[in-house]
Amino acid sequence: MNRTLSFTLNGKPAKISVDDERMLLWVLRYDLGLTGTKLGCGAGLCGACTVLVDGKAVRSCSAPVSSLAGKKVLTIEGLAPDGRLHAVQKAFLSAHAFQCGFCTPGMILAGCALLSTRPRPTRAEIVRAMDDNLCRCGSHKRILDAVEAAAAEIAGGAK
């Protein structure tokens, strides 16, 4: 059933008229043109479509848009609104934590979600938090290194 939904998207108010069973990923990519959120498995298994909803990592391929009413959605396009990269983005660049880049938006947002609730995670906690986001290019170790470096950067420590 079509309904009008209001939510916050990348810091700005958004209002859309949409079938409330449509998944958030289709709305972001095909209705709103935010193609930084990737379609991988389409079944909640790979994490390529990860966005933040009220700060929590959510698989947008499996989240009906009706669940977003009144919430704050952040996609990779909204992570550096003033052009200054987030610490996790900077760390991914420094660590060369990608090859094709397909998994990268989801990985970065999953890392941000972890660090927002656990600013100084142990390596084991990082491994656990990132374990369900898959990288087909074999960059996973460098991704973990990047999240660890971002945590150190945010905490103000040298790494």
Of 26, 52, 152, the C-alpha closest to 105 is 52
The length of the chain in residues reads 159
CB-wise, 94 or 99, nearer to ligand FES?
99
Minimum CB–partner distance for residue 157 and ligand FES (Å)? 27
| Closer residue to ligand FES in complex, CB, 51/87 | 51
Q: Which is nearer to ligand FES, 89 or 139 (CB)?
A: 139
Q: How far is the CB of 4 from ligand FES (least distance, A)?
A: 25
1 or 91, CB closer to ligand FES? 91
Residue 96 CB, nearest approach to ligand FES (Å): 10
Starting from the edge strand earliest in sequence, which strands make up the sheet with 50-53, in order? 12-19, 2-9, 72-74, 50-53, 56-59
Residue 110 CB partners (closer than 8 Å, separation 6+):
47, 50, 57, 129, 130, 133
Residues in touch with ligand FES (CB under 6 A):
39-42, 44-49, 59, 61, 98-104, 135-137, 139
User: What torsion do the CA atoms of 38, 42, 44, 49 make, to the nearest 10 degrees?
Assistant: 10
- The nearest distance, CB 108 to ligand FES, in angstroms, is 11
